């Protein structure tokens, strides 16, 4: 399952680097659930449960240029 990503102001990231810079600047990221099935998380990363979130960008539906994983554990967030 891959998530879409929105940055501050609901804009799509241009790169994985931009996602990392957004996290370093303590700005919130919004995870967009792309699955029509199941009960996957959809919302701000600050309220997301601990776990691993695979993402694709800039747009998971029309433009898949980069992939990555956001890992949230005990309040710490990393991008791989």
pTM: 0.87
Give the C-alpha separation, 12 to 50, whole Å.
Answer: 23
Tell me what pLDDT residue 44 has.
93
Instruction: Identify the domain containing residue 63 by its residue range.
Output: 3-79
Number of domains in the chain: 1
Tell me what pLDDT residue 72 has.
95
Low pLDDT (below 50) residues in the chain: none
Residues 48, 1, 24, CA angle at the centre, nearest 5°?
Answer: 45
What are the pLDDT digits (tens) for 18-33? Answer: 999 999 999 989 999 9
Tell me what pLDDT residue 13 has.
96
Give the C-alpha separation, 60 to 68, whole Å.
Answer: 12
Give the C-alpha separation, 6 to 20, whole Å.
Answer: 13
In the chain the beta strands, taken as DSSP E runs, fall at 3-6, 30-33, 43-44, 51-59, 63-73, 76-79
């Amino acid at each position: 399952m891959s998530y879409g990503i929105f940055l501050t102001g609901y804009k799509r990231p241009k790169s994985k680097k931009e996602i990392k810079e957004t996290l370093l600047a303590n700005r919130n990221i919004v995870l967009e659930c792309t699955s029509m099935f199941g009960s996957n998380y959809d919302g701000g990363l600050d309220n997301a449960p601990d776990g691993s979130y695979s993402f694709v960008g800039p747009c998971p539906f029309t433009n898949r240029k980069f992939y990555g994983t956001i890992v949230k554990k005990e309040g710490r967030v990393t991008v791989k």
